Structure 1
Amino acid sequence: MPNLTHLTLEFIRLDDEDLSKLNECFPCLQILNLIGVGGLENPKIHLSQVKTFRWEVSNAPWSLAIHAPNLVHLELKCVEPEILILDTPSVSTLKLTIDELGPTVQVDGLASLKNLRIESSDLKSLLQLFASDREIRTLDLELPVSVNCVDLYHEVKPDYLVQLFSRITEVKLSPRFSCVLMSLLCLCTNHESAGRLEKLLVHLPASHITACPFVPLLSVSAPSCEVTVLFHADTSDAVRQAAASVWPPFVRGLPRFPEITWRWGTWQ
C-alpha cells in the first residue's frame, strides 16, 4: 500500500524491528496512530514524511526514540522510559502524558515548539525541560487523578507557576490541575509586572466561596486579557451570579488591572 497516507494500529503486538518497516511499507504516510501497541522494548521509530503522530505506549519500554524531521503534531503517552529522545525539529504542538521523566532525556530537536500540553505528576522537571527556555505560545496543564494539593505544592511552588504563565500568551488549566491550583494561589507573593498572558482558561471546583481565587494570575496578564471561567456543574446559581457581578469590578479596582473580557461556562 505505497500510497497510504493515514494509518492507525490499535491493541496489537509489534516487535521493535517492525517499526523500522513503516517507512519502507508506507512511504507516503502523513498521519500515524499507534494506540496500545505492546511488545516493544527499546523502540526507535524513524518517520521521514509523517506530519501527525499519536503514540500511546501500552507497556513500559526501557527507552523511546522518535526521529521525524517533518513531524508537526506529536501526542505521546508513556510511563517512565529511562531514555527519551525526541529528534523532531519541526514539531510545533506536543501533548505529553508521562508518569515521570527518566535520567536520560534528549529533546534538543524541538526548536519549533509553540503549543505544549503536559499531564504528569513530574511537572517541575517537565516544565523546566520543555517550557522554561522556549517561546511557548500555548500551555495546557493537567494532573493525574492521584495528585492532590499537597503533592502539587511539594512538586512546584505556585510563585514559579505564576512567573512561568506571565511569559506565555495562552494558558489552559485543565480540570484536575485547575481545581488543585486554586487552593494554592493564596500562597503567592505579589506579582505586579505586566506579562504576556492574553488568554486564560480556568476550571473551578464546586464551592460556596465567591471570592476570585485566581487574582495572582490576572496580576501578570497582558493589558488586554480574555478570561474564560468554567464552573463545575454542581456550583449553585447564586455562586455563579455573585462571581459574575463581583469579580469584574473587583479586578478593575486592583492597583494594576488589565482590561479583561470575561466569559462564563460550565464543566462536568
Structure 2
Amino acid sequence: MEDLPPSLLHEILSRLGDSEDLSRCRVASKTLNSIAREIRSVNLQCSYVRYAKSRSPLTRSSITPFKEIFIKLISELEIVESVSMGVEKPLRFVAYDDMEDEEADLYLSDVNFSKEWLPKVCGGLKSISISDFWVQSCWRRSDVLSLISSHCLNLLELDVKNAWLSVDGLNPMLKLTSLTLEFIRLDDENLNKINESFPSLQDLNLIGVGGLKEPRIHLMHLKTCQWTVSNAPNSLAITAPNLVKLKLKCVKPNLLVIETPLLFDLHLSLETAGNFKVKELHDLRKLHLESTDLRNLLDTFPLGKTVRNLTVVSTRWEMPVGVTKSTFELLLYVFPNVVSLTLTPGAWSEFESYPGQGGLESRLQMNGLKVITAYLTVNDIEMTISTIFSILENCTKLSDIELLIHRDVVSNVTSNLISRCIAHCSRVRWKWGMWKEGTKDAWISDGI
C-alpha cells in the first residue's frame, strides 16, 4: 500500500468514517502516519460495546477513556476543519438507573472538556457536530455555545444533540449558515437570541427543542427549515422572506403564523391550530398536509392555486355532520390546480366512507388532476371499487392511478379488485403495490 501515490493514500484515509480506524492505519507504517497528519477531520463515536466494557469491573481498567482518545486524535492533526463526536444510537436508550449520579465521562458538551481542545483548532474549524449522552447531559447546563461563538469565527455548520444548552454570553456568528439543535433543552421563552446570533443562517433544524413558550423564527436569509415542536407553546411564528422549504410539526398552538412568501415546498403536520394565519403563498408547488382535524385545517388554509403536488394525511377522523362536500372535493376546491394527489390510509378511508351528498359534483375543479396515489385497506370491496370508479368518471384527465393495498387483505380480494379496475377503464395506466405500517411500500406492477 505504501507504493501508492501520496495523493491517493490521502484520499483513501480521508474517506475513513471512523477516526479510530485512522489511528490504526497510523501505527501500520511511517508513510501512513505521515499522511494521516494531513487529514482535516475527526469523527469519533462511542459504541455501546465500548460503553459496556468501560462499566464492567473485568474490563474497565483496560479501556482508554473516550475523551482522552478524542484529545489525542485531534492533537495529532495539523489543521482541523471538521469535528464530529458523539454516542451511537443504542446508548440513547440506556436507563438512568444504570448510571452513577456523578459520572461525566461521556458528557461531551461539557464546557471544561471543550476548553481542552477547541481553542487549539478553532481557527480552521468549519463544522462541529456533538451528539451528547443524554443521561449525563440532561441535568448539566452547558455553556458550550458561548465558547464556540467566542472562538470559532469561521464556523459554517453547527450540530448539537441531546443536551441542555444555555445561550448566555452567546456572540454573533456571522458566517454560520447551518444550525441543527436536536433533543435540546433550551431555557428561553423564545428564539430571539438564536435569531440575533445567527443572522446568516440558510439551513435551520430544530427537532424536539423544549422550554420554548412563544418561539418565533425571524431570519432574513433562511432557505430551508425543519421544526419539530415537542411541547405545546402558546404561539408559533415563522418570518423568513427567502424560505423555500419548510417542514413543521407541532401540536395545538393557539396561534400559528407563517410569513414565507417564497415558500415552494411545505410539509405541515399539526392537530389543530386555534388561529392559523398564512399569508398567500404565490410560489407553493409541493404540499404535505397532516392533521387529526383535516377539514378545519383546510377551511383556514389560503386558497392554494399554485399547488401541483399534494399529499394528504388524516390521522384521526369522525363522520362529518351537515356537510355536502367530500374530503376529496374539499381538497380540490382549496387546491384547484393540483396535478398529483396522494391520499394516505386515513384520508382515503374518510373519502370512501363519506363521498359527499350526491357523489362528486365539482367536475370543473378536477380537470387538472392527472395522477392519484392512494393507500387502501379494502374493508368493503364494493365500496372501494365504487369510490375508484366515481373518481374516474369525474376526473377526466387522469392518466395514472397508483393503488397500494394493505398486505393483510386476502389475495383473492386483491386479485378481484385489480381485475375489475383494469377491465373498467383502459385509458389510465394502473400501478399496483402493497403497504403495511412499519414496512416499506412494495410495488407489484409497473403499470398495466
Tell me which of 400, 405, 409 is aligned to 1:235: 409
The residue that corresponds to 1:116 in the other structure is 287
Q: For 1:155 and 1:28, how far apart are their aligned partners in 2? A: 50
State the TM-score, normalized to the length of structure 2: 0.52
Q: Quick one: which amino acid aligns to residue 220 of structure 1?
A: N
The residue that corresponds to 1:86 in the other structure is 258
1:107 aligns with 2:278: yes
Q: For 2:216 and 2:313, how far apart are their aligned partners in 1? A: 28
Is the deviation greater in 227-236 or in 118-127?
Answer: 118-127
Is the deviation greater in 179-188 or in 198-207?
Answer: 179-188
1:251 aligns with 2:425: yes
Whether the aligned pair in 2 keeps the contact of 1:208 and 1:235 (CA below 8 Å) is: no
Whether the aligned pair in 1 keeps the contact of 2:190 and 2:215 (CA below 8 Å) is: no
Q: For 1:155 and 1:29, how far apart are their aligned partners in 2? A: 47
Whether the aligned pair in 2 keeps the contact of 1:3 and 1:28 (CA below 8 Å) is: no
Q: Quick one: which amino acid aligns to residue 416 of structure 2?
A: A
Is the deviation greater in 61-70 or in 174-183?
Answer: 174-183
Q: Quick one: which amino acid aligns to residue 350 of structure 2?
A: V
Tell me which of 114, 126, 144 is aligned to 2:297: 126
Deviation of 1:195 after TM superposition, in Å, equals: 1.4
The residue that corresponds to 1:3 in the other structure is 156
Q: Quick one: which amino acid aligns to residue 233 of structure 1?
A: R
Is the deviation greater in 223-232 or in 14-23?
Answer: 14-23
1:159 aligns with 2:326: yes
Whether the aligned pair in 2 keeps the contact of 1:3 and 1:27 (CA below 8 Å) is: no
State the TM-score, normalized to the length of structure 1: 0.84
Whether the aligned pair in 2 keeps the contact of 1:79 and 1:99 (CA below 8 Å) is: yes
Whether the aligned pair in 2 keeps the contact of 1:185 and 1:214 (CA below 8 Å) is: no
The residue that corresponds to 1:255 in the other structure is none
The 5 A counterparts of 1:6-155 are 6-16=178-188, 19-103=191-275, 105-108=276-279, 110-130=281-301, 132-144=303-315, 147-148=316-317, 151-154=318-321
1:261 aligns with 2:438: no
1:221 aligns with 2:395: yes
Secondary structure of the corresponding residue to residue 86 of structure 1: strand
Whether the aligned pair in 2 keeps the contact of 1:16 and 1:42 (CA below 8 Å) is: no
Secondary structure of the corresponding residue to residue 21 of structure 1: helix
1:179 aligns with 2:346: no
Give the number of equivalent residue pairs: 257
Q: Quick one: which amino acid aligns to residue 124 of structure 1?
A: R
Deviation of 1:86 after TM superposition, in Å, equals: 0.7
The residue that corresponds to 2:99 in the other structure is none
Gaps of 5+ in 2: 1-151, 158-176, 437-448
Q: For 1:171 and 1:155, how far apart are their aligned partners in 2? A: 26
Q: Quick one: which amino acid aligns to residue 112 of structure 1?
A: D
1:5-34 deviations in Å (ceiling 9; x for gaps): 332211212244662233444344322111
Q: For 1:248 and 1:230, how far apart are their aligned partners in 2? A: 15
Deviation of 1:75 after TM superposition, in Å, equals: 1.2
Instruction: Pick closer, same or farther for the CA change 1:120–1:152 going to 2, 3 Å.
Output: farther
Deviation of 1:84 after TM superposition, in Å, equals: 1.4
Give the aligned CA root-mean-square deviation in angstroms: 2.6
Deviation of 1:219 after TM superposition, in Å, equals: 2.6
Deviation of 1:267 after TM superposition, in Å, equals: 0.4
Q: Quick one: which amino acid aligns to residue 428 of structure 2?
A: I
Q: For 1:27 and 1:239, how far apart are their aligned partners in 2? A: 58
Which structure dedicates a bigger proportion of its chain to strand? 1
Larger Rg: 2
Whether the aligned pair in 2 keeps the contact of 1:188 and 1:216 (CA below 8 Å) is: no
Whether the aligned pair in 2 keeps the contact of 1:12 and 1:36 (CA below 8 Å) is: yes
The residue that corresponds to 1:205 in the other structure is 377
Which structure dedicates a bigger proportion of its chain to helix? 2
Is the deviation greater in 226-235 or in 29-38?
Answer: 29-38
Q: Percent identity between the aligned chains?
A: 36
Instruction: Pick closer, same or farther for the CA change 1:123–1:40 going to 2, 3 Å.
Output: same
Deviation of 1:183 after TM superposition, in Å, equals: 2.3
The residue that corresponds to 1:169 in the other structure is 339
Tell me which of 350, 358, 368 is aligned to 1:196: 368
Q: Which has the higher contact order (CA 8 A, sep 6+)?
A: 1
Q: Quick one: which amino acid aligns to residue 401 of structure 2?
A: V
Q: For 1:189 and 1:178, how far apart are their aligned partners in 2? A: 15
1:124-154 deviations in Å (ceiling 9; x for gaps): 232133354533212211122xx24xx1434
Gaps of 5+ in 1: 253-258
1:219-248 deviations in Å (ceiling 9; x for gaps): 332424211000000122222222222112
Is the deviation greater in 57-66 or in 28-37?
Answer: 28-37
1:45-88 deviations in Å (ceiling 9; x for gaps): 11222211111111111111111111111111112222211111
Whether the aligned pair in 2 keeps the contact of 1:206 and 1:234 (CA below 8 Å) is: no
Is the deviation greater in 228-237 or in 190-199?
Answer: 190-199
